Structure formats: structure tokens, C-alpha cells
């Protein structure tokens, strides 16, 4: 069972109600503060399918310290990840093959399905999130997942960390000397796939208007985080980014690993039209398909895994991280 983080702050709990819907337990905790008239609303956590009448509630209290003289990151709507999730409404309408993400999951998961922050095996509500990694790394995948995979993560929080993408990505970070806690994990395209298949080209990418809206929202994410290093995870992300920066024109029209590797895999001083901001952008294999694609990987005189790791190391060095 995934442990919930303890709540912080000294507010009195005003109202708490529990709703049970099939296999899901939502804990809604509302608290008022002496300084704020609004009510904080927290939908928190889920329990696996094998619940008994004496099921355990994973509970978190939406609370806030009233002794502080100024708002702090972590208030409902104030944390950048939560604010970005609200701003993601700008990508609507979704194509017929794509569903809107209902809400951010409280366990470790890429944005927008989760908060895009490394929570380890903890569960975390919007008032208990760790600090947003301003100026850190932005890891950009193609899209979150299918609706089926989203629901599985919702029903079994933390299980996605035990196999597949996350263990692979963690190994890459450790070998490169990078920090998960200094990374915002996000995606180029918003929404969930209706189909069960969660790899391959994202169907929403055929809708040009939707792509443009997702690109505009990506720039919102960059402006919010001001990352020092952006990781383009997988070949699908490369053309998405190439349209957004003149400095990435070397990636234009490159949709295969071999063609990307023949050019620049690390671009320094990349600008996205955000005043005062430039960063390093690097191409890495997507962790979910990394093992299948390592045989194609080349960088300088290196092949396979050492090549991918060295790209990351050189990008970190160029970014001063």
C-alpha cells in the first residue's frame, strides 16, 4: 500500500466527507483559513479492487499554515503544476480519439495525468506537493497514456514504478548523475488515448489545429518552469519542438532515430520566444521504448546504452546542472 504524506499546517478541519464509487474511495477535505475566505477542495487517493467493508482510507487533510504572512507554493491552485493543469483547458476541443484527463493523480506520474513531479512511493494532494523545479530539467514525452493505463494507475497507485518506464528512466538518471527531484515530467500532447494502445504515434497528432494548441500550451509550460535543460524523449517529440524554435531547425523533418543522430543531438542556447530565457535541448530515447531502440543508438564514437547516457551527461554539463 502506498503511504500518504502527512498533512502540514495548523488549520482546523471543517468538513470531511467520503464518497465510494465502485472501487474508488475519494476523500474530500475542506478547510477554511483565517486569512482566506475560499474553501480548499482536495480529491485524494484510491484503493485497489480487493476492498473489504473494513477498507483503509488513505486520507490527507487539506490544510494550510495560517501564521505565514504571504501565500506559499502548495495552496490549491497556487502550485505551478496545478495551475498548469487548469491552463491546459486551452487545448480544447480534443480530437474524437482523445479524452480529457479528469484530474491529476496523487501518485508519481507524468503531467497531465499526474503532477509531473517525483513523489516516490508517496501519495500527495495539491496542498502537499514538493517544490516545483524552477530552472531545472523538463523531460518531455509524446503523450501521457491511454485511458486504460490512466485508470490502472488510479486504481493501483505506485504500481507503475515497479516495472516498465519508470525503473528504466531512473536507471538512466542515476547513470547520468541527474536528479529526479529537479525535473518536471510532462508531455507534448495533452489528453488520453481512447484506444488501449499506449505506444506508437499519438492519434491526436493528425489534427493540425489540436497540435498548434498543444504547442502553444507547451510554451506556457516552458515559460512557467524556465528550464535549463529540456529532454526530448523519443523521435515523436523532435518535430513537435522543432516547429517552436528557430534554434531547433536542425531537427526539422527528422522523424527517425537515425536521421536525428546524424545531426545535433544537443542544442545549446535554444530559444522559444520567451523573453530572457534560453536553454539546452537534448534528444534521448524514450524510456518506455529504450530497450527496443538501444541497438540503433549512436553518439560520437559510442553505441547503445553508453551513447544515450553520454548524451545526457554532456547535456547536463552544457546546462551547468
pLDDT, one tens digit per residue, over 259-316 is 888 889 999 999 999 999 999 999 999 888 787 888 889 999 999 999 999 999 999 9
* Residue 7 scores a pLDDT above 90: no
Distance CA 110, CA 231 (A): 14
| Nearest by Cα to 39 from 60, 19, 64 | 64
Per residue in 115-143, pLDDT tens?
Answer: 999 999 999 999 999 999 999 999 999 99
pLDDT in tens, 23-34: 333 333 333 333
Q: What is the CATH number of domain 80-319?
A: 3.40.470.10
DSSP for 17-46?
EEEEETTEEEEEEEE--SS--SPEEEEE--
284 pairs with which residues across the strands?
233
Q: What is the pLDDT of residues 228-263, one digit of tens each?
A: 999 999 999 999 999 999 999 999 888 788 888 888
* Domain boundaries, given as residue ranges, for the chain: 1-70, 80-319
Task: Please state the pTM of the whole predicted model.
Answer: 0.77
Note whether 180 and 226 are within 8 A (CB).
no
DSSP code for 207: -
Which positions ≥6 away from 64 have C-beta within 8 Å?
9, 11, 31, 33, 36, 40, 74, 75, 127
Contact, 222 vs 277, CB < 8 A? yes
Give the three-state DSSP class for 292: helix
Angstrom distance (rounded) from CA 288 to CA 77: 31
Amino acid at each position: 500500500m502506498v503511504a500518504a504524506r502527512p498533512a502540514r499546517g495548523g488549520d482546523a478541519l471543517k468538513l470531511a466527507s467520503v464518497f465510494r464509487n465502485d472501487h474508488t474511495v475519494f476523500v474530500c477535505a475542506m478547510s477554511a483559513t483565517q486569512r482566506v475566505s475560499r474553501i480548499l477542495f482536495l480529491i485524494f487517493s484510491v484503493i485497489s479492487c480487493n476492498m473489504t467493508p473494513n477498507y483503509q482510507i488513505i486520507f490527507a487533510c487539506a490544510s494550510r499554515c495560517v501564521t505565514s504572512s504571504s501565500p506559499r507554493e502548495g495552496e490549491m491552485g497556487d502550485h505551478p503544476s496545478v495551475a498548469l493543469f487548469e491552463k491546459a483547458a486551452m487545448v480544447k476541443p480534443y480530437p474524437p480519439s482523445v479524452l480529457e484527463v479528469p484530474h491529476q493523480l496523487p501518485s508519481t506520474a507524468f503531467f497531465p495525468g499526474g503532477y509531473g513531479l517525483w513523489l516516490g512511493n508517496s501519495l500527495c494532494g495539491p496542498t502537499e506537493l514538493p517544490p516545483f523545479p524552477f530552472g531545472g530539467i523538463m523531460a518531455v514525452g509524446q503523450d501521457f497514456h491511454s485511458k486504460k493505463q490512466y485508470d490502472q494507475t488510479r486504481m493501483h497507485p505506485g504500481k507503475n514504478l515497479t516495472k516498465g518506464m519508470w525503473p528504466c528512466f531512473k536507471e538512466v538518471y542515476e547513470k547520468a548523475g541527474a536528479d529526479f527531484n529537479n525535473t518536471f515530467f510532462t508531455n507534448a500532447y495533452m489528453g488520453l488515448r481512447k484506444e488501449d494502445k499506449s505506444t506508437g504515434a499519438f492519434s491526436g497528432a493528425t489534427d493540425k489545429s489540436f497540435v498548434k494548441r498543444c504547442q502553444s500550451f507547451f510554451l506556457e509550460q516552458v515559460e512557467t518552469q524556465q528550464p535549463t535543460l529540456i529532454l526530448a524523449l523519443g523521435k515523436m517529440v523532435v518535430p513537435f519542438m522543432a516547429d517552436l524554435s528557430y534554434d531547433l531547425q536542425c531537427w526539422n523533418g527528422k522523424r527517425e532515430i537515425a536521421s536525428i543522430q546524424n545531426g545535433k543531438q544537443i542544442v545549446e542556447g535554444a530559444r522559444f520566444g520567451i523573453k530572457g530565457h534560453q536553454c539546452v535541448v537534448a534528444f534521448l530515447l524514450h524510456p518506455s521504448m529504450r530497450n527496443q531502440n538501444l541497438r540503433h543508438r549512436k553518439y560520437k564514437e559510442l553505441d547503445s546504452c553508453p551513447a544515450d547516457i553520454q548524451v545526457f551527461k554532456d547535456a547536463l554539463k552544457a546546462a551547468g546542472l
